[in-house]
Structure 1
Amino acid sequence: MTSVDPAILARLHAQAFAAPWSEVEFADLLNQAGVFAVVEPDGFILVRVVLDEAEILTLAVRPEARREGLGGRLTGQGALAAAAAGAVRLFLEVAEDNTAARALYDRAGFRQIGRRKAYYAAPDGARTDALVLGLDLRNNPDKAPLP
């Protein structure tokens, strides 16, 4: 993958999330083996590949650019790049109450394989479960993610 500016990722992430990651955090992640980003002007996906498994670390789309297919394109591009890097399974965690993200991942073929109780903390201290989703990158003919 080409070089990615952590400052750009941090700016996009801050527009997409109430608790954004910092430029330093993105720089640290991008310096790790197997971590790559697919970046477009209005969003990005950050993926880590370790051996034959990959994980979507974060997917960020500016609010003004949502519901236009960018999240699906980034998910598909990330899945294809992970498969090209040798991954056969792709995982992620999503907040149980994030219905928009859950619908996006469902359309891409992800299925729930687990749950992390009280994984996410809201600013008010409330806790939300994370759903662990997985996608088989080898055999997913009906809902293969597309760039």
Structure 2
Amino acid sequence: MKLLALDTSMSACSAALLDDTTVVAEDYAVMERGHAEALAPMVQRVMAGIPFSSLQRIAVTTGPGTFTGVRIGLSMARGLGLSLKIPVIGIDTLRAISANAQGDGPLLVVNDARKDDIYAALNGAVPAVMAMADCLALLPQGPVRVIGTAGDALIAASGRNDLIRIRTNDLPVAARFGAHCLYTQPEDAPPEPLYLRAPDAKPQALDLRLMSCGDEAAELLAELHRACFADGWDAAAFRKMLAMPATAMIAQAGSMPVGFILTRQAADEAEIITIGTHPSAQRRGVARALLDHQFTELRGRGAVQCFIEVAAENEAALALYASVGFTQEGLRRGYYANGDDAIVMRRMLT
């Protein structure tokens, strides 16, 4: 079984191709940021000469880790899984790190969670966030192996001489945890980020350049859409919509496309067909910038009101649209392919 493993959850980025338990190719780099730019080239290198169609599953770390980093790896894994129609297996970060440990006996994985807390998992348990003192109180007596970014601090605070520090790698390594996912039973739904605490601070807004585009950008629009949504559209779908005609715009931060919006207008009514922000740039003002610019454009073309349909379960999107002036106008039950309801929202442009 061929498996592609990915990790962008912490201060490293890695990809590996496994054929059963044999590592065919791997790439690993320590980095505090830049995972979004590094991951795709890594995947291309480990897959060199091997068709993606030969893959039978994808494995990816789900967190806990950095908020943006976790979503970068998940986004690529889910996009590949969807396009290749193969399962995507999620593995939590602490269990992934445990694959680096050698030896037998109890194993504690502990990572720094900041604010005097740690993420902890003993013997493959579900990770939990807790104070270090609480973790120490739960440890069994006798030798316990310890690995993770908070390993040294925990041992120093313990006052115990039976905690054995494992010094291989305190970060997930795709080539090592991939084998753990070879025969894991896939879930019915794609893996989701595992966040155990809220972000410490709101990310800073990006310096954006907004560009109108047409049919020539169909492939890029499709790539962005697949990164943003589990059921991403292909380039053919975008070409069809652009021929309606619809209007497309891409937001770019530096050299990286980070968002898009697609709208259409009939007389004095406009509709936002789809809008998305790349996971690596979420919560940094991309969608709001696209919406504000599009409202100005639509007013200039004589539009009086603008509509958008939003999944009733998508609380973040509903809050965003309400914050820019949309109000709920109706409900379409079972509107989406998965059976979810859609809320119809409207914003007056005059």
**TM-score bucket of the superposed structures, by smaller chain:** 0.7 to 0.9
Q: State the AA in 1 paired with 2:250.
A: V
Aligned equivalents of 2:317, 2:325: Cα separation in 1: 13
Cα distance in structure 1, aligned partners of 2:262 and 2:293: 11
What displacement does 1:2 show? 4.6
Q: Kindly report which structure 2 residues correspond to 1:1-147, keeping only aligned pairs within 5 A, or say none.
A: 1-3=212-214, 4-33=216-245, 35-40=246-251, 41-122=257-338, 127-138=339-350
In structure 1, the residue corresponding to 2:333 is in which secondary structure? strand
Cross-structure match for 2:254? none
Percent sequence identity over matched residues?
39
> Do the aligned residues in 2 keep the contact of 1:38 with 1:77 (CA within 8 Å)?
no
2: CA distance between counterparts of 1:58 and 1:30? 12
Shift of 1:37: 1.1
Deviates more, 1:68-77 or 1:105-114: 68-77
Deviation at 1:55, TM superposition (A): 0.1
Preserved contact between residue 13 and residue 20 of structure 1 (Cα < 8 Å)? yes
Matched position secondary structure for 2:335: strand
Asked if 2 retains the 8 angstrom alpha-carbon contact of 1:52 and 1:86, the reply is yes
Q: Distance in 1 between the 2:218 and 2:337 partners?
A: 25
Task: Name the CA distance, whole Å, in 1 between partners of 2:238 and 2:298.
Answer: 19
Whether contact under 8 Å (2:213, 2:249) holds in the other structure is: no
Relative distance call for 1:113 and 1:10 in structure 2 (3 A) is same
| Higher RCO, Cα 8 Å, sep 6+ | 1
Q: State how far apart, in whole Å, the 2-side matches of 1:108 and 1:88 are.
A: 16
1:56 and 1:92 in contact (8 A); partners too: yes
- CA distance in 1 between partners of 2:302 and 2:236 (Å): 28
CA RMSD of aligned residues (A): 1.2
AA at the equivalent of 2:247: F
Residue 121 of structure 1 and its aligned partner are, at CA, apart by 2.9
Write the distance in 2 (CA, Å) between the matches of 1:113 and 1:2.
30
Structure 1 distance, partners of 2:287, 2:220, is 17
Q: For residues 87 and 110 of structure 1, what CA distance do their matches in structure 2 show? A: 15
> Which residue does the alignment assign to 1:144?
none
Letter of the 1:137 counterpart: L
SS at match of 2:241: helix
1:71-127 CA deviation, whole Å, 9 max, x = no partner?
1111111221111111100001000110111111011000000100111233xxxx2
For the Cα contact (< 8 Å) 1:91–1:132, is it kept in 2?
A: yes
Q: Secondary structure at the match of 1:121?
A: coil
Q: TM-score, normalised by structure 2?
A: 0.37
Moved over 6 A (4+): none
Residue identity opposite 1:36 in structure 2: T
User: 1:26 is aligned with what amino acid?
Assistant: F
Q: Distance in 2 between matches of 1:38 and 1:81?
A: 11
Structure 1 residue 63, shift from structure 2 partner: 1.1
Q: Which amino acid aligns with 1:86?
A: G
The gaps in structure 2 that reach 5 residues or longer are: 1-211, 252-256
Counterpart residue number, 1:141? none
Give the counterpart letter for 2:292 in structure 1: G
